[in-house]
Structure 1
Amino acid sequence: MTNPPRILIVGGGYVGMYTALRLQRGLRPGEARVTVIDADSYMTYQPFLPEAAAGNVEPRHVVVPLRKVLNRCEILNGWVVGVDPQARTVEMRPHDGPPRLLGYDLLVLAPGSVSRTLPIPGLAECGIGFKTVEEAIHLRNHVLAQLDLAASTTDEAVRARALTFVFVGAGFAGVEALAELEDMARDACRYFPSVDPADMRWLLVEATDRILPEVGPEMGRWTLEQLRARGIDVRLGVRLKSAEDGHVVLDDGTELDSSTLVWTAGVKPHPLVRASGLPLDDRGRIRATAELLVEGSTTEFTAGDCAAVPDLTRPGEMCSPNAQHAVRQARTLAANVLATLRGTERRPYRHAYAGSVASLGLHRGVAQIYGRKLRGPLAWFMHRTYHLSRVPTLNRKVRVLVDWTLALLFRRDITSLGALAHPRQEFEFAARPDPARPDAG
């Protein structure tokens, strides 16, 4: 090992940030140096993205700045594009400038996952995911902009297209995003006299025969009934065939035009995983041992969405790719990295899944916790309480709590900042030799 040894962590999400945080607390002075590489300089607490999209939580409060939290770690921003386990090096490309080759003594590979897309015509051009805070902000601004458009146009086709919102995928991300945004849009209609909530069409498309499988069949059926009671059109056993130019075609024969297509139909391991040269399972995840070591290695560790970790509480199965496992795996992973450094015994990861909670809009939720089923306001309260306890740092806990408190006292903000997506557009217009444009006046 080098002196001091370098622990290189690829990924600044749940696994990467929590592992680095525990290492900087547990390492003795000079025992090792920790380097974290991620494309962003912050960690996103994804369970709060639906609330950020609905305006219940300030978007900045659902992200945690890595440089502030990991103040004793080296933070590098860029993309890791290759791993050489034999040479113990990774190739990193910063956002600008030449690539760098970084050596390591111990590696934690946890780049997470990306949206799992299908070769559906028009999806890449018209769709948007719901995994990042940027996507959540864009969707909030976009939905409010569609209400602005519907209230301003006299073209019924344009109006119908603007007020049609299509979500594909009925897992946590899809159901929570749709429920929170529908709740926000319904509330916003009070400020649009010409737009009635009944004018909006919300469509949830799911290829399987159930929604929210994480909360169990009974709670899934109850959630389905609640969504349909709100006028949301839920299609089960239906797939998206195409979405070219916003013309959505489903395999049950339905065709409609929509300016909003949100894709939340699952995730897949980060592309870096395939370029790592590490052993993969049939789903493209890194094969790991119960001690969170890469199979056949004593210097490479992995966990989270990109890893196939044996679930010791359910022999023969792998841990689900969710935040609950990722955060707890990070604790074991950090302890095992320290054990490897110190030559002591590593311990296996074991955690029985506690259950799931989901928000369905203000004062509405569904949960299954240790076998107990909750619904309505109590489940919504449990959802907020659980995630408030889990969001990293006291700073963010307090800020989120203040956001919720203010939301109880004041109505939602319905400002649409659509120009955030194209911040230079106005300047480019002003810099033209002839600033005339069709919409000037």
Structure 2
Amino acid sequence: MSQERDTMMGALAGFLGGLALSTAMQLQGTAGLLGLHALDLGPSLSLIVHGVHLLSAVVLGTGFGAIFRYQPNGYASIVSSGLLYGLLWWIAGPLTLKPFVLGQGPLWSLEEAVSIFPSLIGHLLYGGITALSFHAFTTLYLWVKPESQCATVSAEKSVKRIVILGGGFGGVSAAQHLGQLLARDSNVEITLVSQSNYLLFTPMLAEVASGGLEPQHISAPIRAVSPRTHFLRAEAEAIDTATQVVQVRTAASAPLTALAYHHLILALGAIPNYFSLPGVETNSFTLKTLQDATRLRNHVISLLESADIEPDADQRRRQLTFVVAGAGFAGTEMIVELFDFIHSSLHFYPHIRAGELRLVLVHAGDRILPELSADLGAYALQKLQARGIEFLLNARIAGAMHESVLLNDGRQIPTFTLVWTAGNQPHPLVKTLPCEHNKSGAVVTESTMQVKGFTNLWAVGDCAQIPDVLSEGKFHPPTAQHALREGRFVAENVAAALRGQPIRPFRFRTLGILVVLGRRTAVAEIRGRKFSGLFAWFLWRMIYLNKLPGLEKKVRVALDWVIELFFPRDIVLAADTTAPTLTPAMKAHRGRRPSRKSFEGKTAEERVE
């Protein structure tokens, strides 16, 4: 299988990278892939040290192959992964492991890191060489031995059709890997159906809403990232598992089109869950799409424009109060980005004082970021409270109106802005399938990702409940990290099923969790190790930059970050052609003096989407 192939190729690439680097260091009179040259071993042990370096390089190369896996997307992406891998092992090796071997503490201060900075060059060089070698060796292996990954599916001449519903991380990852696995099979057709023709990198969506990144820079065309897949921009409306047909509609006025399938992969994701709370759906913003982010950004800028000239104190208070519901990853990062964006824009609005701003995060639990350990959650809470963000814990949104948010204890918060991140539910289409569902509506699958009761129906991502075979009684969380691996793994199982080979259960442990807190601060938990502050923020940027699809997107986002160091964020009201109507607040603020009356008598369609 491809996992064994990738680890084998990674070991070979690691050996080559270690040999090149260790030989170069020997010629320079050193022997230090992992900083071992600092140990006074004597010249007689140089050969032993050389062997230790090569063995370490093979182990690290094996890890590289197992983690990053082979993707036929060119060398630029894999090299950036190699550089990141070298950086992480520089942190784990000279900064952490070596001091422990010498009986010292980890070298995590800035001064100590600077003192061993030259060894970073070697680690980056090793990572780059290993990544290049890994990609080259695997490409050559697949060309010489196509039967290992590209065996003929069947001697039959009938076309085998694989349909993937959903263009998120899980769906696109499955399409990419299927295109690789079945590249030599002319009788296999892969079709991906999605309403958006791009893969959206959702971890950076909050930065788009706050003007830190351009929308196009975090979205990659599906046709470009998965060239071996037939892409169909449409909405799936019905699935008939008996006849194995999916009904899709390419436009609102277009007739339904039938897509027959032999294997169907559900990767439809999730939609907001408003829990039937009165007024919340029609009076809140969500953050799921580029249109959502643009709409929220326009709304915030519009409120600042109006508040700068608003004489009425009550109206002004509503305009400058921003409420976010839910203190998970999305809600916490959203309130932080709003805080940074609004405060950095105040110099454009001379009549708005920082003390007038109120940013409130409402959360039903007793601590924020429950996915993190308690101490990191407490650290995040302390940092954000110190900046002036208000937290209402053990509180719930009970309803929303045009000009206020109602809490479950009867309190009202006057505001025109409610951002809802407090709940998701699986795509409604999966709830119509004749199969087992969990209480939220997600389809229940086997550990192989086959929907229970079916052999040719598969599900990944937010719309699936996939059992975790490594933790009995638990399920894989609905995160992008897991969806990527699930998509890749389901592709392997579908390809195996087409060939008549055995399929395997999905095994994966979360590699780490990172949350940015603004102002070059973040918290991270990676393989049980906890980080906070500037270093965690740097990790967040490096890791997510590496995960962006394609070198072009990486460069564009990096440039956006560099520009932000020297220039303020843009406050231009961008046209949102996807929104049929303006939000109530934006409509009211088109005049010089919006008032409470401006919000009365609006229809449901005119309220915040």
TM over 0.5: yes
- Taking only aligned residues, the RMSD between alpha carbons, in angstroms, comes to 1.9
Task: Provide Cα deviations, 1:347-391, integer angstroms capped at 9, x if missing partner.
Answer: 221111122101112312111111111112111111111111112
Task: Provide Cα deviations, 1:102-140, integer angstroms capped at 9, x if missing partner.
Answer: 110111111011111122222122111112111111112
Q: Is the strand fraction higher in 1 or 2?
A: 1
Distance 1:438 1:185, change over 3 A: closer
Using the TM superposition, give the Cα deviation of residue 282 of structure 1 relative to its aligned residue in structure 2, in angstroms: 2.8
Match of 2:499 among 324, 342, 346: 342
Distance 1:40 1:421, change over 3 A: closer
Q: Partner residue of 2:300?
A: 143
Structure 1 counterpart of 2:454, one-letter code: S
Distance 1:2 1:156, change over 3 A: farther
Match of 2:340 among 171, 180, 183: 183
1:119-158 to 2 correspondence within 5 Å? 119-158=276-315
Unaligned 5+ runs, structure 2: 1-155, 583-589, 593-609
Q: Distance in 1 between matches of 2:591 and 2:420?
A: 33
Q: Partner residue of 1:61?
A: 217
Q: Distance in 2 between matches of 1:119 and 1:407?
A: 40
Q: Equivalent residue of 1:245, what SS?
A: coil
Q: Partner residue of 2:208?
A: 52
Q: Distance in 1 between matches of 2:473 and 2:581?
A: 54
Q: Equivalent residue of 1:407, what SS?
A: helix
Distance 1:419 1:388, change over 3 A: closer
Q: Distance in 2 between matches of 1:75 and 1:50?
A: 27
Q: Partner residue of 1:320?
A: 477
Q: Partner residue of 2:197?
A: 41
Using the TM superposition, give the Cα deviation of residue 251 of structure 1 relative to its aligned residue in structure 2, in angstroms: 2.1
Distance 1:295 1:419, change over 3 A: closer
Q: Equivalent residue of 1:123, what SS?
A: coil
Q: Equivalent residue of 1:360, what SS?
A: strand
Q: Distance in 2 between matches of 1:392 and 1:266?
A: 27
Q: Equivalent residue of 2:159, what SS?
A: coil
Structure 2 counterpart of 1:262, one-letter code: V
Which has the larger displacement, 291-300 or 106-115? 291-300
For this pair of structures, how many residues does the alignment match? Answer: 428
Structure 2 counterpart of 1:22, one-letter code: H
1:280-291 to 2 correspondence within 5 Å? 280-291=437-448
Distance 1:163 1:306, change over 3 A: same
Structure 1 counterpart of 2:343, one-letter code: R
Distance 1:419 1:44, change over 3 A: closer
Structure 2 counterpart of 1:149, one-letter code: S
Q: Distance in 1 between matches of 2:579 and 2:498?
A: 48
Structure 2 residue 188 is matched with structure 1 residue 32: yes
Q: Distance in 2 between matches of 1:119 and 1:394?
A: 43
Q: Equivalent residue of 2:402, what SS?
A: helix
Identity of aligned residues (%): 37
Using the TM superposition, give the Cα deviation of residue 438 of structure 1 relative to its aligned residue in structure 2, in angstroms: 7.5
Structure 1 counterpart of 2:231, one-letter code: I
Structure 2 residue 239 is matched with structure 1 residue 83: yes
Task: Provide Cα deviations, 1:227-255, integer angstroms capped at 9, x if missing partner.
Answer: 11111110111011221222222123322
Maintained 8 Å contact 2:157/2:187: no
Distance 1:248 1:332, change over 3 A: same
Q: Distance in 1 between matches of 2:452 and 2:279?
A: 39
Structure 1 counterpart of 2:161, one-letter code: R
Task: Provide Cα deviations, 1:53-112, integer angstroms capped at 9, x if missing partner.
Answer: 222211111111112222222111222122111211111122231001111011111101
Distance 1:155 1:418, change over 3 A: farther
Structure 2 counterpart of 1:287, one-letter code: V
Match of 2:350 among 193, 202, 205: 193
Q: Equivalent residue of 1:411, what SS?
A: coil
Q: Distance in 2 between matches of 1:290 and 1:422?
A: 40
Maintained 8 Å contact 1:180/1:362: no
With normalisation by structure 2, the TM-score equals 0.68
Maintained 8 Å contact 2:191/2:231: yes
Q: Distance in 1 between matches of 2:428 and 2:301?
A: 33
Q: Equivalent residue of 2:518, what SS?
A: coil
Maintained 8 Å contact 1:2/1:105: no
Q: Which has the greater radius of gyration?
A: 2
Q: Partner residue of 2:371?
A: 214
Structure 2 residue 433 is matched with structure 1 residue 273: no
Q: Partner residue of 2:399?
A: 242
